[in-house]
Chains A and B, each alone.
Chain A
Amino acid sequence: SQKIEQNSEALNIQEGKTATLTCNYTNYSPAYLQWYRQDPGRGPVFLLLIRENEKEKRKERLKVTFDTTLKQSLFHITASQPADSATYLCALEKGTGTASKLTFGTGTRLQVTL
């Protein structure tokens, strides 16, 4: 069966360090992979999208990699700040246009301390 795995344990890191979150999947051939941020009591907020033919995508302090051979995406936050503390969700997208459908992982909670 199809599965998306994110580390369910919280990731605790010190301010200024690089946070690396992992998203592994099985029995999928996603066209795209997206990362979202979710704060308590709020809906997810889109961060980055990476296509299956792209290896890496960057946006300010964020970097996403996508390895379709390993079936894994890594999400990096460099120079992390306490304001980066949140739950980060990966989502796999199959199909295109109106037929595309997002399936979310369970999310990993990141805690950045001073």
Chain B
Amino acid sequence: EAGVAQSPRYKIIEKRQSVAFWCNPISGHATLYWYQQILGQGPKLLIQFQNNGVVDDSQLPKDRFSAERLKGVDSTLKIQPAKLEDSAVYLCASSVQGNNEQFFGPGTRLTVL
């Protein structure tokens, strides 16, 4: 079974620029999550989708972050404009509806200069 795919793996941008990350979850997984993991900390949930609907985006900085999952499969997370404090690893995870185990992708390491 193929795992969660993410791209790019690494991205370096300057502050105030825009960036987008892509995630393809495991086939059949209805629930998709985006997490932000700052160095030395645990992952922090940004947004959770159930199919193409948002379940929880309470910790998403909506003035600069946006995410979509239009067809209920793959998803994109965008930051516009980026700030220095957005430097982190952005992790995508997916799970089967009703199952608590989450499967994580390798993450995208973002560096904002």
Q: B residues within 8 A CB of A49?
A: 100-101
Q: A91–B98 Cα gap in the complex (Å)?
A: 17
Asked, given contacts A43-B105, A106-B42, A107-B42, whether A98 binds B97 with beta carbons under 8 Å apart, the answer is: yes
Instruction: Known A-B contacts: A44-B91, A49-B101, A104-B42. Give 18 more (CB < 8 A).
Output: A32-B100, A34-B100, A34-B101, A41-B106, A41-B107, A43-B4, A43-B105, A44-B104, A45-B104, A89-B42, A89-B43, A98-B55, A98-B97, A99-B56, A104-B43, A104-B44, A106-B40, A106-B41
The answer to whether A46 has its CB under 8 Å from any CB of chain B is yes
A side interface size, CB within 8 A: 25
With most chain A CB atoms within 10 A of its CB, the pick from B43, B48, B98, B104 is: B43
> Interface range on chain B: under 10, 10 to 19, 20 to 34, or 35 or more?
20 to 34
Q: A45–B91 Cα gap in the complex (Å)?
A: 12
Q: A44–B103 Cα gap in the complex (Å)?
A: 8
List 28 contacting pairs A-B, 8 Å CB cutoff, sorted by A.
A32-B100, A34-B100, A41-B107, A42-B107, A43-B4, A43-B93, A43-B104, A43-B105, A43-B107, A44-B43, A44-B104, A46-B101, A46-B102, A49-B100, A49-B101, A89-B42, A93-B100, A97-B98, A99-B55, A99-B56, A101-B48, A101-B56, A102-B45, A104-B42, A104-B44, A105-B42, A106-B40, A106-B42
> Which residues of A pack against B, CB within 8 Å?
4, 8, 32, 34, 41-46, 49, 89, 91, 93, 97-107
Q: A102–B39 Cα gap in the complex (Å)?
A: 19
Q: B residues within 8 A CB of A106?
A: 40-42
